[in-house]
Every structure is written in C-alpha cells, then in structure tokens.
Amino acid sequence: MTERDADLELVRRVQRGDKRAFELLVAKYQRRISRLLSRMIRDPSDIEDVTQEAFIKAYRALPNFRGDSAFYTWLYRIAINTAKNHFAAQGRRAPTVVSNDIEDQEDGEDSIRLSDTATPDSLYQSKQVGLAVNRAIDQLPADLRTAIVLRELEGLSYDEIAAAMNCPVGTVRSRIFRAREAIAQELRPLLGTSNDERW
Amino acid sequence: MNSGPAPQSAPPEPGADVERLCAWFDGELDDAAAGPVLDRLLRDRALQQRYARWSMVGDALRSSEVLAGHSPQLCARISQALADEPALLAPAALRPALKRHLASGFAVAAAAAVLVLVAVPQLRGSAPGGEAPALVSSVPVHPDMAAARPARDPRLDPYLQAHRDFMGSGVMPAAAVYLRSGSEGER
C-alpha cells in the first residue's frame, strides 16, 4: 500500500460511518489547507472559517468520492471552491487559481501561484518554526537525520531508503519512527501542545 | 471526539505496534497488517495524538510556513462541527482496489479470449462459419490469464462475427487481428 492508499482506507472507514477517521484526515491536512487559503484570504479568522467549511463540505461530499484522484487533490479542489464562494458571498472576486496547480498537489507541492498574504505574525511564527525544525534536525544522529530527510523531503520509499543507506528495511522503519518522535518533541512547546492535549 | 464509543486513553505502547503505525502512516505496511493497525488507531486516543504529531513533523520539514498554520482550536472546531453531522453510510462509494484489479484482469482475459477465438482459426486458414469457434485448448495462455479467463460468453458472438467478416477482406488479417484486439483490450 502507499500513503495515498492509507488515506483511502481512512476514507473507506468514514464512508462506513466512523467519523474519527475523518478527524485523522483533518489532523493531517488542516495545515496545508489553511496555508493554501491564507494565500487567498487575509483575515486569519476568515481563514479558519473557510477551512472549517471546506472540511465539512468534504465530509458531506465523501459519498461521492470514488478514489479516482488522491484524497488531498480532491480536498484541495473543494477548498478552492469554498474560498471562491466565500469571496462571492462578500461580493469580491477571488484571486485566480491556475488549473495545473491542482495537479501539482499530487506531489504535495503547495506551489499555487497566488499572492502571498502573510502577516507579520504569521511570518514570525513561520520563522520560529523553521528555527525549531533546523535545531531538531541538527540534534538528530546522522542515520536518523538521513532517513527522515529521505522520506519526508525526497519522498523515497522504505525500500529505496534501505538501498540508499545500505541497511534493512526494518532499520529504516525504526529510524524514521525515532526521528519523527524526536522532532515532534522539539516542536511541541512551539505549537502549544502538551502531553495531554490533543494536537 | 464525539462519534461512536469513547476512544480508549490507554498509555502509548512503545515498540512494534507504534512502529507499525508509523509504517502505515507512510503507506509502507502491507494490507494484511494495515487493517488491525487502523482498527487500533481509531480506538486509541494516544495513537491518534501520535499520528497528528507525525503529520506536523512532515509539514514542518517540508515548509515552516505550512506548520505555522497549525491551529489546535481549529481542529477542535471541526470536530465539534462534525459531531452535528450525520454519520455517513456509503460503504460501496469508494471503488475497492480488488474490483479495479478484477476489472482490469477481465479486460485482459477478454482480449486474450478474442485472440484465441479469432486469430487461431485465421492462422489455420479455416473458413469461418456461421457459428463462433470453440476455444482452442492447445494455444498456450499465460497462467494468470487462464485463471481469470471467463467461460465463453455468447454475447461476444456478434462482435466476433464482425471480426471474421472484416478479416475476410483484410490485406494482413493476422496482424490486423492482433492490432485490433490490442486496442479492444485497452478499453
């Protein structure tokens, strides 16, 4: 199975009545959708409102989702349309979305060509996150760092990483798991999550 | 979370189970192992928190701007809004991978059946009669195709007759059959 298949399995569970599976999809894609919409909508409270509306629309439309495209691609389209409706309701015109940007989402690229409406606060937050990530990566042992970078940035499969690092797949799995846990621990104070909070 | 029975808040178990979840997260777990992992994930709040944290790690590594958009209260708002939504019941909505494989396998088998039914008599030089020829068991068939090959379907008879009529006047009948059958198999 692939990561796309993992998403589809969650969708399948939602279609059988398990809302918790949809909440996991929300947890996974909330930030990307918010980031996408932040390039179209300036007001942070509006961004949250439209993001929420996009996810609820996606939930309601899930019976119509056949899996012909990746879940994120489908969700991305819903988010764009929700934002356009938001602008229409306000009597404003939405920024232009170039259609082939949607296909870029298959690769996880947020390469949409829209004006960036970053605020000073979001820029500061972004910078702090970037520093924390660099710190977390630098503190990792080399083999863990290599494994997580090959996975998250290069998109290599476990088999490919094993070949690149000349180690068994099981070792790759362990290294990626440990690297993720270590980086998550470093990011926790920045994101305001404690051991007891939900994310 | 407000849907179904309250998820358990068992303390997280380090080791094989969580590593398997991590592998599933990357789409690197085989289908047989994925089911139980997902079952457990959907019941265990601690595992759900882990899953969410791993999502954040990926976003952070790929783009600090994306992670800067993290909003715990937004996730809570969406959960609350979801609680007001009716549970979906569309179990057949998503096309299962098995059906897709069977559909493509059937197309291959149908193409192979056409080749066997039409091409072999032509190669033998036999004049086609009014009836569709029987399957020729001596023609080697790939084991996978043989296993998936359906019984002869009389609904194919008009199609096969059309092929025979075409072959009767073709310049390169044997080659044309392979070319035509190949294009039909792609449908």
Domain end marker among B53, B83, B113: B83
Lowest mean pLDDT among A99-103, A116-120, A123-127: A99-103
What pLDDT digit, counting tens, does each position of B122-158 carry?
Answer: 666 554 444 544 444 455 555 555 555 555 667 666 6
The secondary structure of B70-113 as a DSSP string is --HHHHHHHHHHHHTSPPP--TTSSPPHHHHHHHHHHHHHHHHH
Last residue of a domain, one of B83, B115, B142: B83
Judgement on whether residues B77 and B130 belong to the same structural domain of the protein = no
Q: What pLDDT was estimated at residue A128?
A: 85
Question: What is the ipTM metric for this complex?
Answer: 0.82
Q: Which residue has the higher pLDDT, B103 or B164?
A: B164
pLDDT, position A199: 46
User: Which chain B residue has its CA at the smallest distance from A48's CA?
Assistant: B74
Q: Tell me the fold of A3-107.
A: Rna Polymerase Sigma Factor; Chain: A (1.10.1740)
- B101 with B168, same domain: the answer is yes
* Among B1-10, B70-79, B155-164, the least confident range: B1-10
Residue A6 CA to residue B109 CA, distance in Å, equals: 30
User: For residue B151, what are the domain limits?
Assistant: 97-185
Question: Is the pLDDT score of A61 beyond 60?
Answer: yes
Q: Do B94 and A3 touch (CB under 8 A)?
A: no
B108 and B78 share a domain? no
- The reply to whether residue A187 touches residue B56, judged by beta carbons under 8 angstroms, is yes
- For residue B131, tell me if it sits in a domain: yes
Average pLDDT on A114-133 reads: 76
Cβ of B166 under 8 Å from any chain A Cβ? Answer: no
Given an 8 Å threshold on Cβ–Cβ distance, is B29 in contact with A1? yes
Q: Judge: B64–A148 Cβ closer than 8 Å, yes or no.
A: no
Task: Report d(CA B81, CA A21) in Å as an integer.
Answer: 15
pLDDT in tens, B6-43: 555 555 455 778 999 999 999 999 989 999 999 999 99
Name residues whose C-beta falls within 8 Å of residue A116's C-beta, 6 or more positions apart in sequence. A39
State the pLDDT confidence band at B67, using cuts at 50, 70 and 90.
confident
Q: Which residue has the higher pLDDT, B187 or B21?
A: B21
Higher pLDDT, A175 or A119: A175
- Identify whether B75 is part of a domain: yes
Partner residue facing B3 (CB), from A18, A68, A128: A18
Domain identity same for B138 and B109: yes
Closest by Cα among A114, A110, A105 to A87: A114
Residue B135 C-alpha from the chain's centroid: 29
Q: Residue A85 burial by CB count (10 A; 0-12/13-18/19+): exposed, middle or buried?
A: middle
What confidence score (pLDDT) does residue B111 get? 61
- Residue range(s) occupied by CATH 1.10.10.10 in chain A: 120-191
With a CB cutoff of 8 Å and minimum separation 6, the contacts of B160 are B114, B117, B118, B132
Does residue B50 lie in a domain region? yes
Q: Give the total number of structural domains in chain B.
A: 2
Question: Which positions in chain A touch B42 (Cβ < 8 Å)?
Answer: 13, 18, 20-21, 24
Tell me, what's the pLDDT at B69? 78
B101 and B152 share one domain? yes
B91 in any annotated domain: no
- What pLDDT band is residue A186 in, cutting at 50, 70 and 90? confident
The answer to whether residues B79 and B110 belong to one domain is no
CATH code of the domain occupying A120-191: 1.10.10.10
Question: Which residues of chain B does A57 touch, with a Cβ-Cβ cutoff of 8 Å?
Answer: none
Q: Cβ contact (<8 Å) for A18 and B48?
A: no
Asked if B133 and B77 sit in the same domain, the reply is no
Please provide the average confidence, as pLDDT, over all residues in chain A: 84
pLDDT value of position B108: 59
Same domain? For B24 and B74 the reply is: yes
Which residues 93-112 of chain B have a CB within 8 Å of chain A?
93-95, 97
| Same domain flag for B101 and B78 | no
CATH 1.10.1740.10 intervals, chain A: 3-107
Question: Does B45 reside within a domain?
Answer: yes
Among candidates A31, A62, A193 on the partner chain, residue whose Cβ is nearest the Cβ of B66 = A31
List residues bridging with B44 in a β-sheet: B8
What pLDDT, in 10s, does the model give residues A137-155? 999 999 999 999 999 999 9
CA distance B91 to chain A (A): 5
Average of per-residue pLDDT across A29-35: 93
Torsion of Cα atoms, B39 then B99 then B30 then A157, to 10°:
-120
Q: What pLDDT, on a 0 to 100 scale, did the predictor assign at position A169?
A: 96
Q: What is the pLDDT of residue A100?
A: 46
Residue B89 lies in a domain: no
Q: Are B79 and B103 contained in the same domain?
A: no
To the nearest 10 degrees (0 to 180), the angle between helices A71-89 and A3-15 is 70
Nearest CA in chain A to B35: A9
d(CA A197, CA B48): 11
CB contact under 8 A, B34 and A151: no
Q: Do A180 and B54 touch (CB under 8 A)?
A: yes
- Nearest CB neighbour to A197, from listed B34, B72, B91: B72
Q: Is residue B172 part of a domain?
A: yes
B101 and B174 inside one domain: yes
Alpha-carbon gap: A88 to the closest alpha carbon of chain B (Å): 23
Give tens-digit pLDDT for A46-59. Answer: 999 999 999 999 99
